Amino acid sequence: MTDQLRLMAVHAHPDDESSKGAATMAKYISDGVDVLVATCTGGERGSVLNPKLQGDPYIEENIHEVRAREMDLAREILGVKQAWLGFVDSGLPEGDPLPPLPEGCFALQDVEEAAGALVRLVREFRPHVMTTYDENGGYPHPDHIMTHKISMVAFEAAGDPDRYPDAGEPWTPLKLYYNQGFNRPRTLALHEALLARGMESPYGEWLERWETFNRREHQLTTRVPCGDFFEIRDKALLAHATQIDPDGPWFHVPMEIQKEVWPTEDYELAKSRVDTSLPEDDLFAGIDGAR
């Protein structure tokens, strides 16, 4: 394969690309890989999570435009390309019983129809590797689960000329990964490292609640060394100012501990059309032209 390697990361909302796999993307950019983030929704129904910005009437009235500007800044920091798929944020329903999802939102779209937008983008960008969320969405947000669903359809359909015939020239991506950055081994390792140094850990409650998440245990097939790019990841995260509290738990673990204890971002190989040996340290392992 003589052309440039290409990676597509499919995410539900602006800010997801910076909290899931951002250092990996920055590493691959530095290696000369072409990277595109596909953002399914505009984050229109996202809450302002940064307490310093809560109550600002301009932000609350213009959240869609504000989050788009934040995405532009994060994209520049990471060095990636980015495309909007144009779906409307579903919001995160809360309560018991849960309220119905808003009419017209992403999570209520027909999966096959909604996947057409992603198929078109896959055929335009022609990625060798795609990343997305697992069947639980990483966590059970309806937009994350829908992102998983359309990613699976697009991975299978993009190379089939009989499917979505009006969505461009067929292209067959070779590998599909699930983001698994928030895994228990990593969380436990960082938690224990902090306690061993006499420091407080933000992960104690997470670990106590882990068993209540009712999720299957995922295999970490692929650990990409990217500790040198954690600072870029954090800058991209902070660009999403409405979503990230700079004094929040994202930043409680000192950088030197992160790099020493867990200097990778982690993935589960879900689909592969090439031969590869597990475990891997490269999303492009087994693909001609990989480093």
**With 0-12 CB in 10 A as exposed, 13-18 as middle and 19+ as buried, what is 159?**
middle
Is 64 marked as a binding-site residue?
no
Q: How far apart are alpha carbons 280 and 291 in whole angstroms?
A: 13
Phi then psi for residue 40, to 5 deg, are -70, -40
Give the residue among 256, 147, 213, 181 at the shortest CA–CA distance from 23: 181
Residue 146, CA atoms < 13 Å, CB-side half-sphere: 28
Task: Yes or no: say if 133 and 178 are a contact pair by the CB < 8 Å rule.
Answer: yes
Compute, in degrees rounded to 10, the torsion defined by CA atoms 21, 113, 173, 33: -40
Task: Yes or no: say if 118 and 41 are a contact pair by the CB < 8 Å rule.
Answer: no
Is 191 marked as a binding-site residue?
no
Show binding-site residues for Zn(2+): 13, 16, 144
Show binding-site residues: 13, 16, 144
